[in-house]
Amino acid sequence: MQFPSPVSAQWIADFINAEIAGNENSSATGINEIHKVNAGDIVFVDHPKYYDACLNSAATFIIINKKTEVPDGKTLFITDEPFEAYSKIVKHFRPFIAADKMISDTAVVGKNTIVMQNVFLGNHVTLGDGCIIHPNVSIYDYTIIGNNVEIHSGVVIGSDAFYLNTKKDRKAWYKKMPACGNVIIEDDVEIGANCTIDRGVSDSTKIGMGTKLDNLIHIGHEVVIGKNCIIAAQVGIAGGTTLGDGVILWGQVGVNKTITIGDNAVVMGQAGITSSIEGNKTYWGTPIQEFFSKRKELVLLKRLPEIWEKVKEIK
């Protein structure tokens, strides 16, 4: 999330009651979680496992629970509870605003767009021209939808990311990170009934132009789907994953978090994608393999009894 205007390091330190180290005269331009940080961003870290990753990331400002050497050009905010400090900043700049209308006064609806009954449009939602939004669709705050998009009944767009901070020394082990990202849907996308698309924790979940989603699909936080992809029913894509252009995922494919699927990859039904795969190939199975290699393997397995009988005849 980008701030409306730059915020001074000293203001941030005072706001979260943190000790400041490093460049005290700089200004932050946004706040992001570690997978999405850019120069000018604030990030937090509260576990030694991730100290180096955060300190060496693109982020300029790091909220941390340990005094340490400050990398060149960076600013540290030292506090006992970095997660709570991060959450406080997010909630200040992106507070929860309860809806009091089915269609917010701040929502923008384009020309020739049809919004049917029982559709919820949250605060600062933007719909382009020529869209069709079927009944019982919920579109949460800050979602941006392009032109000629069709969204079928029961779809939820922009629900909170399933992204949890874990600490075993507190009563509630798991605390949800407050989401300040959004969802961006480009032109000519179709979304089937009862799909759910989570907004980003701190950045955008994106669906590229011309992509078509079947029914009952879940898209996790900050997933980026390329142009002209096809995704069949009951696919689940975990957060932070990137699909290239022209990718096809057939029914019930499961996709792991923070991986990449190359352009024009085709994945057959019920496959499990646990790591990044190259484009322009067809895949199948769990763990996933190239389709033709997997098919050969299955043919050989089917012939094992026959082969074994022949082996026993050898003297």
How far, CA to CA in Å, does 44 sit from each of 85, 86, 196, 209? 8, 6, 28, 33
CA–CA separation, 251 and 16 (whole Å): 46
For the cut 70, the answer to whether the pLDDT of residue 24 exceeds it is yes
pLDDT score, position 315: 63
Range of lowest pLDDT (60-74, 126-140, 297-311):
297-311
Amino acid symbol at 289: Q
Question: Could you tell me where the beta strands, DSSP code E, fall in 71-187?
Answer: 75-78, 108-109, 114-115, 120-121, 126-127, 132-133, 138-139, 144-145, 150-151, 156-159, 164-166, 174-176, 182-185
Q: Whole-model pTM?
A: 0.91
Amino acid symbol at 202: S
In CATH, which of 3.40.1390.10, 3.40.710.10, 3.40.50.720, 3.30.365.10 is domain 2-93?
3.40.1390.10
CA–CA separation, 143 and 315 (whole Å): 73
> Could you tell me the end-to-end alpha-carbon distance of the chain, in angstroms, rounded to an integer?
74
DSSP states of 275-311 as a string? S-B-SS-EEETTTTEEHHHHHHHHHHHHHHHHHHHHH
- Per-residue pLDDT tens over the stretch 176-228: 999 999 999 999 999 999 999 999 999 999 999 999 999 999 999 999 999 99
Mean pLDDT, range 17-46, rounded to an integer: 93
The domain ranges of the chain are 2-93, 108-291
Same fold, 2-93 and 108-291: no
Radius of gyration of the chain (CA): 23
Query: Does the annotation mark 221 as catalytic?
Result: yes
For the cut 80, the answer to whether the pLDDT of residue 299 exceeds it is no
Reported residue count of the chain is 315
CA–CA separation, 182 and 202 (whole Å): 8
CA–CA separation, 71 and 287 (whole Å): 40
CATH of domain 108-291: 2.160.10.10
Which residue in 35, 134, 218, 221 is the catalytic one?
A: 221
